[in-house]
């Protein structure tokens, strides 16, 4: 039994690495893309604005699991070749693309709300002081936007940790997949439930981090 326990821990820690990879790369790509989408959704160019809002609506209105299937399988059906390549790396790449697109759309709505929540009078005051549009954004709008978006962003990021378990539907060996594998391989189910400990620790660390960030950003009341 002790040998099995350590074997399970070793397998889950390896799978946790893939879970963290999905989590980290999704944030790296989704945050800047979400910011760009938020700008597009507020654009004065109506065709661009309508297009961005339609894309966001589609990704927010359909299940992430379905989007994983579409991203992974549809290009192969259309181009008659596997554009992601074979093996675990190809599946991981498709997962990161699907997750990044999905979360960028959710982040864009949060960013838009944060930007529009900054009083217009403060931006006008910046113009009176002779500041350029970029200076107004980075020195006035951005700082207050960050303060406003941290709570909803923290909720989405914590949800992302749990959503990584969906990657198993296209064969990525993340945390839940590794725990489930023991049901077939060894006829034991407790490793699947034991994965909850890893998720709780992961989420607990993020919760402490976001609480610290919110305290540091308390200069805006």
pLDDT digits (tens, 9 = 90+) for 179-209: 998 888 888 898 889 999 999 999 999 999 9
Answer yes or no: is 42 within a domain.
Answer: yes
Answer yes or no: is 55 within a domain.
Answer: yes
Answer yes or no: is 61 within a domain.
Answer: yes
Percent of the chain past pLDDT 70, that is, above it, reads 98
Give the distance, in angstroms, between the CA of residue 100 and the centroid of all CA atoms in the same chain: 6
Three-state secondary structure readout of 66-124: HHHHHHHHHHHHHHCCCCCCCHHHHHHHHHHHHHHHHHHHHHHHHHHHHHHCCCHHHHH
Residue 97 · residue 71 · CB < 8 Å = yes
Answer yes or no: is 160 within a domain.
Answer: yes
Number of domains in the chain: 1
The reported pTM is 0.90
- Locus of tokens 């940790």: 161
Answer yes or no: is 123 within a domain.
Answer: yes
Answer yes or no: is 221 within a domain.
Answer: no
Q: Which domain holds residue 49?
A: 2-216
The mean pLDDT value for 43-61 works out to: 94
Q: Is the pLDDT of residue 124 over 80?
A: no
Q: If you average pLDDT over each of 22-31, 107-116, 141-150, which comes out highest?
A: 22-31
* Cα dihedral value 172, 176, 177, 180, nearest 10: -170
Of the CA atoms within 13 Å of residue 130, those in its CB half-sphere come to 0
pLDDT digits (tens, 9 = 90+) for 16-29: 999 999 999 999 99
Distance (Å, whole) CA 39 – CA 33: 10
Q: Is the pLDDT of residue 1 over 70?
A: no
Q: Is the pLDDT of residue 120 over 80?
A: no
Query: What's the distance, Cα to Cα, between the start and end of the chain in Å?
Result: 55
């Amino acid at each position: 039994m002790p040998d099995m326990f350590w074997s399970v821990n070793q397998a889950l820690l390896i799978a946790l690495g893939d879970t963290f990879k999905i989590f980290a790369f999704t944030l790296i790509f989704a945050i800047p893309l979400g910011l760009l989408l938020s700008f597009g959704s507020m654009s004065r160019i109506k065709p661009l604005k309508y297009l961005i809002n339609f894309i966001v609506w589609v990704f927010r209105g359909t299940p992430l699991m379905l989007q994983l299937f579409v991203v992974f399988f549809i290009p192969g059906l259309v181009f008659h070749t596997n554009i992601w390549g074979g093996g675990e790396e190809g599946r991981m790449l498709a997962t990161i693309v699907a997750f990044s697109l999905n979360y960028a759309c959710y982040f864009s709505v949060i960013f838009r709300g944060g930007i529009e929540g900054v009083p217009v009078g403060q931006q006008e005051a910046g113009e009176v002081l002779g500041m350029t549009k970029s200076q107004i954004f980075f020195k006035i709008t951005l700082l207050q936007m960050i303060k406003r978006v941290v709570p909803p962003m923290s909720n989405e990021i914590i949800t992302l940790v749990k959503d990584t378990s969906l990657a198993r539907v296209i064969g990525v060996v993340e945390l839940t997949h590794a725990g489930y594998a023991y049901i077939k391989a060894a006829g034991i189910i407790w490793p699947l439930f034991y994965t909850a400990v890893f998720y709780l620790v992961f989420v607990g660390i993020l919760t402490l981090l976001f609480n610290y960030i919110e305290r540091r950003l308390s200069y805006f009341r």
